[in-house]
Every structure is written in structure tokens, then in C-alpha cells.
Amino acid sequence: MNAPCIALLARFDKKASTFSTPVTAGGQLYIDAVHRAGGVPLLMPPTLDANVINATLTRCNGVLVMGGGDVDPSLYGEDKQDECYGIDNSLDRFEIAVLLAAIALDKPVLAICRGAQVLNVALGGTLIQHLENSADHSGRLHEVEVVPNTRLSQALNGTTSNGASWHHQAIKSIAPDLVCVGRASDGTIEAVEHRSASWVLGVQWHPEKTADEDPVQQSLFDALINQAK
């Protein structure tokens, strides 16, 4: 069987040190994790053209959404707070469009950190714009308790994850089509999955940061590839 092709949602940047023109880029750690899992990552440039999105997803076997800046609060009906940063409304709308199309096509999806937040907003949920204890979730490993007998517990082959946390926002109200399947010790929602789609999973931590040395974190990418086969 050919290696599954994974659409890695890339982003636009006006400059890069090795290019004299604007670039479309994807994170190397995500790419490496997909390669280790036996998949072929395909960078999907941002677009709002529904025909291009559907044509790309039709040719791909799964979708991977990276972490990044904050989601535009206007997309979930709130005014921007001072702590928000890195907002790119066009990127938000691109990722939302791809996620909705992927779910409609029943493609497996792994959405990481910002990606999990975008997934929640795309389906009608809201976000905490700034965690009061954001320092406890920034630049450290912390344990997540995972609900047994869920897609996440099956992917991790267990009910705990000690992943790299790097976020100051989190899910507030969960979208109707999602269910919480993991929380930090302080109650912060750390993982969600779709209620009816075959395999759509969002995690708040960054498994790609430690996946090269932690088989539990790599297992999330392995599960995405297994579902994409």
C-alpha cells in the first residue's frame, strides 16, 4: 500500500531568510513526526477557494493542523482582549474551511494546540482568551488525564499523557459536535474529539515537540497515519 498523504495546513509569511519572495511554510517537527509514522506530508497553502480545498482533500488521506497564534475572537462572538496576539483572520478562515470540509468528507484529522482551538471555533465553540494560570501551561511538561475508551486513549494506548504544553488560551465552551476527552489537573480542557466523525481529534499540548524521544507522543501521529491508510 502507498504511504498515506497528509495535508499539513501551511501558513503564509511575507519573508524568510533563505527566500527573496513571500513563502508558504509548515513546521519541521510536524513533518518529521508524520515521516516517522510512515506518512507523506503535503503542505497545503492557505486558500479560501472551496474547489481547491476539496480537490486537495480528495487527493489526501488525512489532515494535520499545527499550533500557532491566537484565533480571532470575532469568529466566536467576542471582542479581542489585550492579551491576544498573532491573530490572522485569513488563516483562521482557511483552517476553519478545511476542517469543515475534512469532517464532511470524513477524513481523519489531528489538530494540535491552536488547531484544537480552531476546530472548536469552527464547530461553534468558544475560547478562554487568556488563562489566569497561563504560566502553568507555557514551556513545560504536564500530565493530562485522558477519558478511557475514547479515540484518544486508544491512540495513546493509555489514559495519561505527559506532553509539552505551550499555550495561554484554551477551550471555554465545547462545540456541540465535540466532547472533552482530556483535562489538566487544574481542569483546563486539553483534548476533544468529534462525536460522530470516524476520527477527528484535537489536543491542546504539542506532541510534535517530544515525539522523537517519547513514543506516547509519537503514537498520536502513528494513529493519524493508521486511520489514513
DSSP bridge partners of 165: 140
Output phi, psi for 57, to 5 deg: -65, -30
Distance between CA atoms of 146 and 72, rounded to whole angstroms? 28
For the four alpha carbons of 26, 54, 78 and 110, in that order, the dihedral sign comes to: negative
Length of the chain: 229
Q: How far is CA 145 from CA 52, 78, 84, 141, 160, in A?
A: 39, 30, 27, 13, 5
Distance between CA atoms of 191 and 67, rounded to whole angstroms? 14
Residue type, 206: H
Beta strand 170-171 with 127-128 is antiparallel
Place of cell 509519537: 218
Q: Do 226 and 39 contact (CB within 8 A), yes or no?
A: no
Active site residues: 113, 206, 208
| H-only helix segments in 15-135 | 28-36, 50-59, 89-104, 114-122
Residue type, 73: P
